Structures are given as structure tokens and as C-alpha cells.
Structure 1
């Protein structure tokens, strides 16, 4: 069975009026960013091969790649970075079996990588953990939110200076549970029993209204939470702040969602554009929406992260005609963008 060539996913930075492509160590490989800190450093993974199975955890400084490691030959992924430049990396001790491309090889190790080299710290999950997922966060105090699996179910844990707190009481990933954070206060947000929440020091505060599906997608260092509330499959972006729930105005049409917020309460996310089903990136400043647009040659855009400087990391897609095989539909070509907004 043959396959058509696939256009690589490119990473692009838009900063100070310039468009910069994230450099790749291997021509033809893919770039998958996972976050950006207030220094403009991007964390993510470069996949030298088009199949995206064995990656190299990478930090980009002004678009220049710096592979992190070395780790085991099974591949590694950069999943989070804080403002000190400390990076979280997950890796495999055993590489994927090339004869079984349909079998996922789990990531079974987690590391805290210092900003200027030196040995990485091995992060130990709760007892019984067999693998890690991609839901991670690290604050400037070095506190970590992690996601581990014991088999078919996944759970969260909180790590603080060598001490691990099991958050399995929130529920498992197969029972409508998600979590993100932590901020500098050690707070976590997410979804438990289908409702948005805020967690701190073992106390859970429910944010989402009864009778609706809601999720906290991100929080800032002030404890503000952004996410969405969904009724009848129409999701709307929300900001929870100082005990109040604020629905953000939607410039296009629902569904829409808020994905990140900084300490100035600038919110980023996306909304479907008027008369289409294609999302469009937006920034909400002082509660008012700003259209970030879609780069030329693309059909849709999403804004996913915002730093304290106001730099925004997201991506834009458009369809191409190639296909990996007769059974696989055409995949979107994705470009990664970094916006700056005056």
C-alpha cells in the first residue's frame, strides 16, 4: 500500500512585526508546540519523521531550537515550561515497535529539566502509575500538575519539591475529568463530574452552573479562571473572577471557548465565524473581543496561549489534497503562529 507525501507542520512566530518560522533540526520534520513563557521561549516537540511517533523534546529561543536531553531512545516530548525556563519532559524507555504502527507506545518517565543544563530531576508519580499523558503544567515555584495512567483509567497528581499528592479524588479521565495549572498560588482548574472547578490546598470549589456542562481551561496567578459553559451543545466562553461568572461576548457565533488568560485578564480563544463552521482566533481585552484574523492562505485559526507580555501562541490550518492512505481522509496542514497585539 502506497502513501502520498504529507506537508510538514511548520512552527511560526509572529513577534515585533516580524514573522519567524521556528527552525527545525531535521528538514521535513514536524513541529508541535505546547506552550510559551513570558520570556518568549516555546516548549514542544520536533518529530524528525513524518509519522510523528518518535519525537525530540525541544525548547525554542527566538525561533532557534535547543533539543532537551538526552533521554531514552524511545523518544521524548516537551510538555510545559515556566518563566524560569524550567521545562517538563516526558519520555519512553522503550521505542515504538515499527512493525506495529497502530499500537501506541506509552511515555513512562517524566523529567524536570533545568533552564541552563545540568542533570534533570526524575518526577515520581503516585504508586501504581504505568504511564504519563500530555496534561501537564508547572509554575514558577516549580510545582507540577501531572497526569498518569494505571491502565485504562487516568488520574492527576500534584508534585511539590519531591512530595506527591494524589488527586484521584477528582475522578478519572474516562469519567469527565480534566485539570490544568498550577498557578503561582498552587491553584488548579479543570472539570470534575462535568462542571468547572477551582482546587487549592485540598479544597474543591465548583464554578460551573448546575444543569450545564462546563470546564475550566486555564487560570492566571490571581485565581481567575477561563473556559466555557455548554448547554444543548452550544458552548460559550466564560471568565470566573472574584466569585462572579462573566459570559464573554461572542463576535461570531457559537460554539466558542476561552482557552487562556493572563494576569491582566486578557483572554484568548476562538469562535466560529459568521456563517461558517470554521473557528477564528480572538482576544478579549476588558471583556471586549478583538479579531486576530486568519493568515492568508488559511481557512481557520485558534489562539491557545497568552503570556504576561501579551504574546499569543496559536495555529492556523487549511486543507491540502494529500492523504496518508486510501483509508485516511486528507489532513489539515497546520502552521504555528505567535501574535503580538498592540
Structure 2
């Protein structure tokens, strides 16, 4: 396969190394360049501008990477990128110390500018999401001597806005563009385990389901629909009601488990005990995707395209696919057996990782042709 020459830039360290047709005629797979000296790179997300984020590993602390739409790699410094919004703002969280004192600090990167959003007096800060306005929900310990998430806040309008929640353990998992935050609470010892929704500084409990496990929320859309999991059940909240999507399944992790149409993706276990990639259309019956199991769906975009993987051929080598309008397309690899997708945008660009024929793991993006107009 042809390889492009490396082009030195001030921040962009390289151009795409490999571009070639994948298994399907309408799919192009591109190897994303790595940071020099780092053998392993993984992607985390992609926005509709075609900007990709991920991290480089294997040479000291991990470093964040931002890939431009043209494929150039920008070094974001030490830390792990967690999310990117449609404006190109990247949420990065850096573990300064994880063995005591416990110090974990978030920041927002955009076009080379960095804003530290660490709450004053905090220790271990957990932040996983950023919305289109640059708002970031977070939980944190009140000192570096412990790692229990005792407080919650939202970085909003250049300052921290405290949420009326306290005591461990708090989790804030997702935020929509209206600034509505969802999360869950797990008491350290006895007490209620519940999921909650916060609009501004008003937090209310979500409807409950039977069981003893903690709630794990994945996503909220602009209509206020929330999805998550508990006790091996895939759940959907709408208004004051909760629906069990599957009594033996799981909603995918992350904001792309749910789209603006109300479609949800994840996995269910069929009667034979095989994990099947599943789509729960908004207002419709569940659909087991035409993909051999074991398989999982990991993301759905606003057009209804579903991204996922199957390990039916080899349990140690997942194989990436895109499901569109009832048709499955294998996305292909860089020559190896392993291709694992993680995120998908509304323009048909998916990102993930793949092995080369020599077994080396690389960050990749797949561009899938789509003749439908983008609304």
C-alpha cells in the first residue's frame, strides 16, 4: 500500500499513512498517523466536522491526540481525551497522581488554547462529556486524600455551578445541548441507589426499576430521552416513565447509544445465549441486526446508521460493521484480523482501531459513502 511522506508542521506531526479501499466498494479506510515514539494509538470520538480525538500510549503517560479532517495529528499534551463537541472543543482529563494524593484534572482544548476547569480544592475529578456550548458536568472528591466522588458541578459560562448533590458516590454521565445533566448515586454503605436528572440546579430522581445494582446511564438527547442499564436490563426513560427495552441486554456506553430520533443501540442475549447487536428504534420494536454473534452495536447517528462489531469468526478479533437501511457492510481492516469501531458521525465517518498484516495496532477512520442529503 502506498505511504505518504511525513510533513513537519508546528503542531501537526504527520499526515495519514495508509489510505486504501476496505472490504466494501463504498468504504475507504485510512490509518491515522501517530505521535513519534508512541507505539499504540486509540481513537475516542469524531464530530461532524471530521475532527477525531484519541490517545497515544506506550512511552510514559498517555498523550491526547487531535486529528484534523485532513488527517494531521496534533499533540494535546499528557492526559486522555474524553469527548469532542461540534465546535471542536476537546475535553481532556489528566491523572496527575493516582496512588495518593489523588489528583485528576480536566481541561478544555480548542485550536491550541487550553482552559483548566478543575474545581478549586478538589482532588480526583471525573468528567466524561461536553456539550455544544462547552458545558462539562463533573464529580469530584473534596480533597486529594481520597478518591470518593462527593460533589457534583457543571462548568458553565466560565465558572463552576454546583449541583445540589452530595456524599459518595456520585456519577454524572451525560449532558445534552440544553444543559440537562443525568447521572446516578450509589451510597457508600446503605441507602437508595437511584438515577437523576438536573436542569440548571434543580435535580430530580428518575423513575426506578426493581433490582439491587447501581444505575449506569449512557446518554440523553435533546428531547430529554435518557438511556442506561441496571441489573442486566437495558432501560429508557421518557418524561416520568421508564421502559425496560430488554430484560437481558445492555445499552451501549457513551452518548452515541441514543440519537435524536430516539433510536437506541446495544446488545441483547438471544435464546441460545449468544450476544446480538440490537437496535431499539424510537417508538418501534427491537431489531436484531443481520450480523453473526457474538456482536454488539456501539453507536447510532442521527440518520439511523448503526456502528458495531462481530467476533463470530474469532473471539479475539472483532470485525467492524456499519448497518444502514437494513444492509450490513463490513468496514474492513488495515490487513490484520482486528478492527474495532468506537464512534460515528452524521457524515458517514467512523473511527476505531485496526491491526496491520503484521499485527500492529493503529488508529483508523472509515469513510462510508452516503448519497442521502445531510439535513
SS of residue paired to 2:164: coil
SS of residue paired to 1:260: strand
* Structure 1: runs of 5 or more not aligned: 98-104, 319-332
* Structure 2: runs of 5 or more not aligned: 1-57, 370-375
Q: 1:121 aligns with which of 155, 158, 161?
A: 161
Q: 2:83 aligns with which of 28, 35, 38?
A: 35
Q: 1:108 aligns with which of 144, 147, 150?
A: 150
The answer to which of 257-266 and 186-195 deviates more is: 186-195
How far did 1:107 drift?
1.8
Counterpart in the other structure of 2:234: 196
Cα contact 1:227–1:257 (8 A) shared by 2:
yes
What does 1:208-287 correspond to in 2, within 5 Å?
208=246, 213-217=248-252, 218-231=257-270, 232-241=272-281, 242-250=283-291, 253-272=292-311, 274-287=313-326
How far did 1:16 drift?
2.3
Cα contact 1:58–1:77 (8 A) shared by 2:
no
How far did 1:123 drift?
1.4
Question: Structure 1 length as normaliser, TM-score?
Answer: 0.73
Q: 1:141 aligns with which of 165, 178, 199?
A: 178
Q: 2:139 aligns with which of 79, 82, 90?
A: 90
Counterpart in the other structure of 1:155: 194
Cα deviation digits, residues 69-104 of structure 1 (max 9, x gap): 35334132321111222112222211146xxxxxxx
Question: Structure 2 length as normaliser, TM-score?
Answer: 0.67
SS of residue paired to 1:124: strand
Q: Does 1:46 align with 2:94?
A: yes
How many pairs does the alignment contain?
300
How far did 1:142 drift?
0.9
How far did 1:193 drift?
4.8
How far did 1:34 drift?
2.8
Counterpart in the other structure of 2:76: 23
Counterpart in the other structure of 2:344: 306
Cα deviation digits, residues 176-218 of structure 1 (max 9, x gap): 743322111111112345332321111122322xxx6112222
SS of residue paired to 1:197: strand
